[in-house]
Structure 1
Amino acid sequence: AESADIYKDAGRFEAEAAERAELAILERYLPAAMSDADLEKIVDSQISIAAAQGLSGPKAMGAVVKAVRGEAGDGADGAKIANLVKTKLT
């Protein structure tokens, strides 16, 4: 979508339309994105589990991120997971 916006700003409307059409096709094959609220619930749950195992603060980050990725699957972006976990652990 970013490249389509750049084409639009440059007045290249045919290229914008082509980019948006391509994006629409690709989105059909991508997994559905998990909502932020659902991801936050998983993160909170995994932080609680880690705390019960004696892990807390930044030291728990690796274990929590790994567990969240396992539970969330392909529906959540890895960078979003890492940022959320980091925010909640610090």
Structure 2
Amino acid sequence: MSLKQKIEGEIKSAMIAKDKARLAALRSIKSLILLEETKSGAKADLTEEDELKLLTKAAKQRKDSADIYEQQARFDLYEVEMAELKILQEFLPKALTDEELTAAVQEIITQTGASSPKDIGKVMGVASKQLAGKADGKAISEKVKVILNS
């Protein structure tokens, strides 16, 4: 079942439950999918990888917006963004813990044969693809730098 079909099913459930906040978040996800599908030069259907990238980007945007609203003491808007982020995370793969991320990065470093901080680019290329959706790019980068510098 594609992400679009899952979202449509969840939208129906939210409508029946009269859950307005969930419905708004799900509709925004569906809107992102439809925009991506109808973009010029786009394939007919999105691949699972494309869907994952789309959701990851949307989740990052929600998190960044929530952080800004929290800094500006706009807690009404902060709550909306956090609620939407929580719903988005239901459709993303489970995030890696710090220990799991360290182990995954260590394995990638071993695979690529990286040995010094000069090899960060080589490791990041592989790590970004393998850990997409499971860890934030910033966290991956920091972990790679720490391991290669030690």
Question: Normalised by the size of structure 1, how large is the TM-score?
Answer: 0.71
Partner of 2:82: 23
Q: Secondary structure at the match of 2:79?
A: helix
What letter matches 2:115 in structure 1? S
Q: Secondary structure at the match of 1:73?
A: coil
- Structure 2 residue aligned with 1:50, among 71, 93, 112? 112
Partner of 1:73: 132
Structure 2: runs of 5 or more not aligned: 1-65
| Post-superposition offset of 1:33 | 2.7
Q: Deviations over 1:3-56 (max 9, x none)?
A: 23642xxxxxxx4144213311232114343211111111000111122xxx32
Partner of 1:82: 141
Q: Secondary structure at the match of 2:96?
A: coil
Partner of 1:34: 96
Tell me the distance in 1 between the aligned counterparts of 2:97 and 2:86: 16
Counting helix residues as a fraction of each chain, which structure ranks higher? 1
Structure 1: runs of 5 or more not aligned: 8-14
Conserved? CA contact 1:5–1:16, under 8 Å: no
Tell me the distance in 1 between the aligned counterparts of 2:102 and 2:76: 35
Q: Secondary structure at the match of 2:133?
A: helix
Conserved? CA contact 1:34–1:76, under 8 Å: yes
- CA RMSD of superposed structures (Å): 2.0
